[in-house]
Amino acid sequence: MIKFYQPQKGISLKGVQEFNRSVILKVIHERGVCSRATISSEIELDQATITRAITQLIEDGIVEEVSLMKGQRGRRSIGLSLDSGRFRVIVVRLQRLSFSVALFDLLGNTLDLVENAIPSQQSPKQTFGKIVEIIDTHLVKLKESIIGIGVSLPGPFLEKDERIILMTESPDWQVFNLISELRGYYDEISIFSNHDAKSAALAVWREMGIALESKVMLYISVGQGVGSGLVVNGLVFKGSQGIAGEVGHTSIDMNGPLCKCGNYGCLELYTSRLALIRSIQQKAKNNSETSLTEDASFADVVSAYHVGDDLAVTEVERVANYLAQGIVNYINLINPDLIILGDEFMAFGDTFLKAVDKSVKASVLPSIYQNIRMQLANIEEDLVLKGSFLYVLEHTLFVPSNVAPGKLMEEGLGI
Ligand SMILES: [Zn+2]
């Protein structure tokens, strides 16, 4: 459970009221549905202050009363949740080979989701055109207000300047600044950029980290690239420029191939989806033992792996061992208590997790290993989209000055 700090002396009454509103919103958000009594037991505010703040939040369409629920002593009380009716959040996820645009209500329900492939000949400018086309369609149709657009990008993402500084295979994105282009196009809507693995880490921490009472959670995504997000006591650790967690560019072999980042033998060169597919396609040539061909897709490899195809099993396990090397380096550096693996490689399931776990166990001290739980991110939703939605809430509803009475209704943060 998050502990909220109390306002310090010297803050104006208005500031205190706004602070109270944002804290109440955060409790309701964390709980999903809760009673007024739960809120007052969780934050040190008197009942009258809480009642006043909630009345205003309901009036502003940010909170709504929902179905009755059982109170602690069997009594029934009115539940409160964020209002699903009046505000929306749009989220964009850019990947090397595809992009997604999703529409959320404040409860985090996905109301619409479009995913499009990015063909290799399509320029970033053309992709930008397709993204705004989808967002524009929402804006024309929606009666609700947009409180922000969240954009998640692959790393290394220099958060300080809000730009991708290296995108292996798609270097054009290093020149085309998606965030500033979107800001120029939607100059009246707040836009919040975040590194995709950090967005996903935020979602994973909420869905799994809180329940597992993790203090130091490491989320590793293995898919079109390899990234990670570190969540310490509920906060995503970013580093001085927002680059923290670039595990894909930590070396596992100084004699390995040269990476575009300047280092040799970077983890991503061995463990990304592209690396796996390339290696399998090459080895499938003139190999009569495998069902895979030199045109094998990722889905083909997943199917072959699950039926025990030798080439698929050998290659995926090789990736598991390389990945374990990267994880071991990370473990010795930050001492996590929970490691969650996510993204496309989760399709290989528990056998893949066990292979990674076995290799990690063999390479760290037993007393360190015993403290670590390693699991797959068994969450159906797109973690990056969900995390990006949460990131927008953190920077809008949970920022006291944004939730002054009437502000969202009158001025909006978006349109
Ligand atoms: Zn590198």
* Centroid of ligand 1 to alpha carbon of 320 (angstroms): 19
Q: Which helix or strand (DSSP H or E) is residue 63 part of? A: strand 63-70
Local structure of residue 318 (DSSP, 8 states): H
Residues with Cβ within 8 Å of 356's Cβ and at least 6 positions away in sequence, in order, are 320, 323, 324, 327, 341, 374
Residue whose pair of structure tokens reads 């209704």 in the numeric block? 409
**Other CB atoms closer than 10 Å to residue 68's CB: what's the count?**
12
Going from the Cα of 262 to the center of ligand 1, the distance in angstroms, rounded, reads 6
* pLDDT > 60? residue 11: no
* Secondary structure of residue 103 in the 3-state scheme: strand
Using the mean position of ligand 1's atoms as its centre, give its distance from the Cα of residue 265 in Å.
Answer: 7
pLDDT over 90 (residue 198)? yes
260 Cα: distance to centroid of ligand 1 (angstroms): 6
- Integer angstrom CA distances of residue 187 from 29, 191, 231: 28, 9, 32
Ligand 1 centroid to Cα of residue 6, in Å, is: 43
* 50 Cα–ligand 1 center, Å: 51
Could you check whether the bond before residue 156 is cis, i.e. omega within 30 degrees of 0?
yes
Q: Taking residues 264-271, what's their average pLDDT?
A: 96
Distance from residue 361's CA to the centre of ligand 1 (Å) = 25
Provide the pLDDT confidence category of residue 353 given band limits of 50, 70 and 90.
very high
SS3 at position 23: helix
CB 285 within 8 A of CB 278: no
Q: What is the pLDDT of residue 1?
A: 46
Instruction: Indicate if the pLDDT at residue 307 is higher than 50.
Output: yes
**Over the stretch 176-185, which tens digit does the pLDDT of each residue have?**
899 999 999 9
Average confidence (pLDDT) over 301-310: 96
What pLDDT sits at residue 16? 78
pLDDT at 2: 46
Domains and CATH numbers, the chain: 13-82 (1.10.10.10), 87-198+384-410 (3.30.420.40), 206-376 (3.30.420.40)
Distance from the Cα of residue 90 to its chain's centroid = 14
Tell how far the Cα of 410 is from the centroid of ligand 1, in angstroms: 47
CA distances from 133 to 129, 182, 191, 339 (A): 6, 12, 17, 38
pLDDT of 314 reads 96
**3-class SS of residue 78:** strand
Q: Tell me the per-residue pLDDT of 315-350, one tens digit each, with 9 for 90 and over.
A: 999 999 999 999 999 999 999 999 999 999 999 999
pLDDT, one tens digit per residue, over 63-106 is 999 876 665 666 667 899 999 999 999 999 998 889 999 999 99
Asked if pLDDT for residue 170 goes beyond 80, the answer is no
Q: Give pLDDT tens digits for 366-389.
A: 999 999 999 999 888 899 999 999
pLDDT at 17: 81
- From the CA of 259, how far away is ligand 1's center (Å)? 5
Cα of 102 vs centre of ligand 1, distance in Å, is: 31
Give the three-class secondary structure for 296: coil
CA of 160 to the centre of ligand 1 (A): 20
Tokens representing residue 234 in the block: 């509920």
- Interval between CA 245 and ligand 1 midpoint (Å): 13
CA of 209 to the centre of ligand 1 (A): 29
> Distance between CA atoms of 282 and 263, rounded to whole angstroms?
25
What is the average pLDDT score of the chain? 89
- Which one has a higher pLDDT value, 412 or 269? 269
DSSP state string for 165-201: S--TT-GGGGTS-HHHHHHHHSTTS-EEEEEHHHHHH
The rounded distance, in Å, linking the Cα atoms of 183 and 190 is 8
106-159 residue pLDDT tens: 999 999 999 999 998 999 999 999 999 999 999 999 999 999 999 999 878 888
DSSP for 356-388?
Answer: HHHHHHTTS-HHHHTT-EEEE---SS-HHHHHH
CA of 225 to the centre of ligand 1 (A): 11
